[in-house]
Structure 1
Amino acid sequence: MSRITIISGAGRLPAALAAELDAPLICALDGFAPEGLEPDVTFRVERLVPFLRDLTDRGVERVIFAGAVSRPRLDPSLFDMGTAQMVPRLLAAMQGGDDATLRVVIALFEEAGFDVVGVPDVAPGLFLAPGVYGATVSDADQADATRAAAIVAALGSVDVGQGAVVAQGLCLAVETLPGTDQMLDFVARTARRPNPAGARGVFFKSAKPGQDRRIDLPTIGPETLARAHAAGLAGIAFPARDVIVLDQKTVLQDAERLGLFLWAQP
């Protein structure tokens, strides 16, 4: 089996992924150290070409991306000649949004001779099997989940977000650049249902239509459930193979304890 490296950003996903793999090389983008995982290599975007050469020298053949990053501030004085030639291509992609940027990043690694793989390919244990966990899903919940899925698909088509909250057919919030936690906190602070005794609402999350599943898959964990509960929602729905679930034992226990459903859709 060829050696694999995790190109790591911040958060707990890189450590969870590393636990599923056989001695991966951990390479962290400077300023975005993973939680609970010590990087073997720290690199900067301005020195991307030397970094790619170093991976080749270390015998790396496969690459997987995991963790959260934002667009780093670049220092022009640090560019080597090879990386500097890539800058116009990267900047042009950034103007097209996150998906366009990520596609170019994948292409750069592939052009350097690496096989870019996704979490579903190498760590299927990070996904829940299709089914309903925790509380039951009512007819009203199903209708809200369907409505939220349509909203997320529309948002994703213009590269905006991967989540939405719908209650009683009304969109209470959508996920934008600040992310899932901020969206759910907003719902907790501001949302009012037309019928206080009616359906509490559903948070739906999925990858964007046409998104390359090898990078930037949505992730939920115990914190997501806690925030969904604080927002007064009935549960969380998502396509089973589109959303990574961290700390699955805790997540399933919390769903039961909080009276929330987790609906991993086929």
Structure 2
Amino acid sequence: MIAGGGDYPVQLARILAGRGERPFIAALDGAADPEAFGGDADIRRYRLGQLGSLLDELRQRQIVDIVMLGALPRPSFGALRPEMSTLKYLPHFAKAFQGGDDHLLRGVVSFFEQQGFRVHGPAQIAPELTAPSGPVGRRQPSATQRELLEHGFSLLKALSPFDVGQAAILADHRVVAIEAAEGTDAMIQRVADLVAGGRLKIGKGDGVLVKLPKTGQDLRVDMPAIGPDTLRNIAAAGLAGIGLRAGEVLVGDRAALGRLADQLGLFVEGVA
């Protein structure tokens, strides 16, 4: 596992441990927290510029199957500080950096495939980490809220060719926010600030968040995700719940997320 930040790499490692497996974890410096995996984890820390060393380690261990998971801020090409064994790979990544996030991630996948590795998505290894079809928790969206969710899904699908965000907020039969480079939580805060400032009114039970992958997005390395903070943020913003594309958005521990949704009075719905 090539691990970035957040709790999802740790959750996946625990799921694998429950199956009796002990993956080798390459913790990306500045993103993953090696201590979060526990003292028994087979883990080493790597800078992005140590790609050559990572490849040598994977080959020495005869590893051919890779999963990449966790948050990683997009680095600048000039900040990679490559070691000598990495320099020969720079032309490939120079091309990958010449585009949006999708282009960069596809370049990363193609690089590892060209080196003889098989890249797997987290949902292929642990589908229980993704949104199920139906409610997560006791609450379900009303008929009006379902219409908003479907409208939001259609909106994000139409925006896919422009490589913008993976989420939007809708209320009162209209779009009030679309995720851009700031990310989902910052978009939710933007809406909360508008409500607090009196520039936007959202009726109780009206506003919804929708999140799903862009059309053609490579879910092996770029699967959308929510977590407990997402639920807390939308509750603070006065929204009613979240609609997710079932099987294509990471939610982590479904039971724990459902309990939190119930506590906050929210619905979380996986839509097929």
TM-score (norm 2): 0.88
Aligned equivalents of 1:194 and 1:23: distance in 2?
A: 50
In structure 2, the residue matched to 1:95 is: 98
Aligned position for 1:132: 135
Q: Which of these residues, 9, 18, 28, is aligned with residue 13 of structure 2?
A: 18
Shift of the alpha carbon at 1:111? Answer: 1.3
Quote the RMSD (CA, aligned, Å): 2.2
Gaps of 5+ in 2: none
Q: Give the 3 Å change call, closer, same or farther, for CA 64–197 of structure 1 in structure 2.
A: closer
Deviation per CA, 1:116-154: give whole Å up to 9, x if none. 111111111112321124323122211211221122223
Find the aligned partners of 1:78 and 1:66 in 2 and give their Cα distance: 22
Matched residue of 1:32: which SS?
Answer: coil
* Matched ranges for 1:176-215 at <5 A: 176-191=180-195, 197=203, 200-215=206-221
1:59 is aligned to: 62
- Number of residue pairs matched? 260
Q: Does 2:150 align with 1:151?
A: no
How much does 1:89 deviate? 2.7
Q: Is the 8 A contact 2:131 2:245 kept in 1?
A: no
Percentage identity across paired residues of the two chains: 36
Relative distance call for 1:58 and 1:174 in structure 2 (3 A) is: same
Q: Does residue 251 in structure 1 map to residue 257 in structure 2?
A: yes
Distance change in 2, residues 1:41/1:194 (3 Å): closer
Contact residue 246 and residue 271 of structure 2 kept, 8 A: yes
2:172 and 2:202 in contact (8 A); partners too: no
Please say if residues 202 and 238 of structure 2, whose CA atoms lie closer than 8 Å, have aligned partners that are also in contact. no
Show the 5 A alignment for 1:220-239: 220-239=226-245
Aligned amino acid, residue 176 of structure 2: L
Distance in 2, Cα, partners of 1:164 & 1:42: 35
Q: Is the 8 A contact 1:164 1:171 kept in 2?
A: yes
Equivalent in the alignment of 1:85: 88
Larger mean Cα displacement after TM superposition, 69-78 or 219-228: 69-78
The amino acid that maps onto 1:253 is R
8 Å contact 1:153–1:208 — kept in the other structure? yes
How far is the alpha carbon of 1:72 from its aligned partner? Answer: 2.9
In structure 1, the gaps of 5 or more residues are 1-5
Contact 2:167 2:179 in 1 (8 A): yes
Amino acid across the alignment from 1:113: G
